[in-house]
Amino acid sequence: MQEVIQIRTPKHNGLFDITDEVNSIVGKSNIVEGTANVYVRGATAAIMIQENWDQSVQNDVINLLKKLIPSGVWEHDMQDNNGDAHLKAGMVGPSETIPIIDGKLGLSTWQNIFLCEFDGPRNKREIVVTLQNSKS
């Protein structure tokens, strides 16, 4: 089973929680045991599993990546002025795979799924959710 989530990202850099949308897809699937792969389409965004207790961890992720990969100093900036966005997305990665356990995402209490935007704002980001059933 596969579905596409579309979201709007209002900030240039930010983490956007998509856990509820992925949970909804898993719930509709009736899969009891399997995996959910969450993949963002685009070379300047990523998927990350991180804490969502408050905004501080999300802010820390963005601030760390800004310090590690500053903007305006990369060869690709001569084309699109977004070399840092490509590097951040490449480091974090485009996907995460989460087990489905007893019909629910196998995330811990503090884990949520985030779309990481590094080149926004964007009117539409597409996240492909692919579910596989372990039991046939």
Nearest-angstrom CA–CA distance, 126 and 8? 9
Residue 77: per-residue pLDDT = 87
Q: Residues 119, 120, 126, 130: is their CA dihedral positive or negative?
A: positive
Range of the domain at 7: 2-133
pLDDT over 70 at 136, yes or no: no
> What residue has token string 């983490």?
15
CATH number, domain with residue 44: 2.60.120.460
- Helices 55-68 and 83-92: angle between axes, nearest 10 degrees: 120
Tell me how many domains the chain contains: 1
Q: Which two tokens stand for residue 69?
A: 């990969």
Greatest alpha-carbon pair distance for the chain in Å reads 51
Residue 134: per-residue pLDDT = 93
Tell me the pLDDT tens digit for each residue of 4-58. Answer: 999 999 999 999 999 999 999 999 999 999 999 999 999 999 999 999 999 999 9
- pTM of this prediction exceeds 0.85: yes
